[in-house]
Every structure is written in structure tokens, then in C-alpha cells.
Structure 1
Amino acid sequence: MAEVVAEHGYAKTSVAQVLRRAGVSRESFYEQFANKEDCFLAAYDEAATVLLGIMAAGLAAPEPEADPAAAELPVLEQLSRVLRSYLAALAAEPAIARTFFVEVYAAGDAALRRRVDVQARFVDAMATLVDARDDTDRFAVEALVAAISALVTQRVCAGRFDELEALHGPVVGLVARVLGEEA
């Protein structure tokens, strides 16, 4: 679904195109999904789960026995690792990035509600990472996630996937300035 939607756009994607790309029968498709929207939402959910998993894996530090200093990474270093993993994953999977950041807006109200929910999950993950303690901290995290999303969306819309990883340094630098730390 993500590959076909990335090529043709959600509105122009047909179930027949998805069937051909996936190499499955119409019967198999409809055993799994009610319609194109249902399949899109499943692909969107899977992309969100994978991206959140990649972010978590980016945070995983080496075993403390191997490097005791790595057990307690500073918040900025943690954010840097998570962001680097996230941007690299998006750059490596342009179809997923296009589905996640662009085509979701063409897929209807259910997809937009899903997008809002997923963005809230990203905010929750980042708020936990930076130990957001109050509404002001949470708002700052929400603004950061929204800014990253907008920056990524601009590049994905323009097909500039090769520029995604270059966002890492400027975003980490911005956060460092806000936190009053060295990047």
C-alpha cells in the first residue's frame, strides 16, 4: 500500500494496483481489509509502530558493563540518538515517509484522526525522554515534535529524502540553545 500510494497518491491508488504490487488475490485482500482506506490505515499504523520502535532502538545504550558512562546519557545526547535514528529511517524508506507525512492528509477523516493520535504518541515518547514535568515542558515538546514534522514534511513533499538526515544537526543545535547546553 505504501509503495503504491507513494507513486500514485492516495486518491489515485486503486485496490487493483495494491493487489498487483503485493502479489495477492482480491479474495486475500478482502479477508484482511474492508477496503482501500482500511488497508491504508493498517499501513499507517504499522509505519508508526516501526518508527516508534526505531526511535526506542536509537535510544538503547550499550550495556553498562561495556561502557558504564553510557548507562546515564545526557538528555541532549538521548534526543540526538533518537532523532538520528528517526531521520535515517525516513530517508531509507521514502514510500513510508510519503505515506506517513503527506498522503495521510488525502486519506480522509479516519486517517487524520490517526495522524493526530500518532503525533500525540510521538510527543509522549519525547516528553518521557526529556522528563517533561509540567504543562509548559509538555508544550515545548509538542512544539518541537510539530516543528520536526513540518521540516520533514516539506522535504518529503519535494522528494528531497536525501536532505532528511541533514536536519539532525540543526534540530539538535536548536534544542541545545533552548536548553542552554553545548550541542
Structure 2
Amino acid sequence: MDWGDFWEQAAQWVITWIPVLGPLGILTTAVVAYFGYRQKLEADRRAQWWVRAQWGLEASLSDDPRRSLAGLALLNELKTSSLATAEDRELFRLLAQSIRRELAAGGGSSLPRAEGVRALEAAAPHRASAALREDTLKQLDSLLEPGDPRRRDTPRSGDPVPDIPAEHLQGR
């Protein structure tokens, strides 16, 4: 085989395979771009989830019992998201245990949130504060539940809204 035959065969190979390799290259580029897009989308969604989780954690430790209840309700919703890791759910569970212990102890709280609930009960020992305490305890119990999360990303129409009575969300 001399060089002339080699170049003739190489040219024939290129003529045969270029129509196949061009679309194959385009398809490969499209697949790589799609996976890059999905990775960025997932990272952005996780970052937004974490912003909400930070607010829920801070709110659950708030001095204002209504804000605390809203924070606990948010954490209950966030723990069921597919974006929540096992470590996140464990963090929420430990927070709920700590707040539950403080509420059960009834004194000497190191958590401002529990002091806020006791202050509200001392200032207005009526049905609203008892309902607020009951709702807070329900949210804490829900956070303490082990079990498999529902694994969903976004609320769908018709999904139940966390049970926060309207009187707890009205003006301060």
C-alpha cells in the first residue's frame, strides 16, 4: 500500500462518515448542555430551599410566638421536599426536640422562643394562647415524626396548607 492509496481510502472514509459524525456531534453537545442546565437548576432550587429553611429556623426561635409557629409550619413543609437531605431533616428534628423540652420544662429557658410562648401565656391566659400553644406543639410533633418524607418539590393546587389559625397570624 503506497501513500496514494492511503489518502484515497482516507478521503473515501471521510466522505462516508462526515454526514454521520456532524449530527452525532450536535446531539452530544445538546445532551451535555441539557445535563449542565439540569445541574444548575437543581443547585438554584437547593439554594432557594436553604434560604427558606434559614428563615424557618430563625423564625422558629423567635420571641414572637406567632412567628415561631409560622417558622415551625414552614420547617414541616420544607422537610417533605425532595430537596431536603437526611441531615436537614435530622436538624429539624433536633430543633423540635429542643423546643419541646423547653416548653415541657416550663422554666429557665435558654431559648428565646420558649420564653416568648410563656410570656404570652402569662400576659393573656385565655383560649387564644392555649390554642397557640396547642398548635405549636402539633407542629413540633409533626417535625419529630420519623417516617419517609412525601418527596415533592413544589406545592400542587389542592395541597393542604399548614394549619395556622387566622387569629394567630393577625396583627401583633
The structure with the largest alpha-carbon Rg is: 2
Task: Name the one with the larger helix percent.
Answer: 1
TM-score (norm 1): 0.33
TM-score (norm 2): 0.34
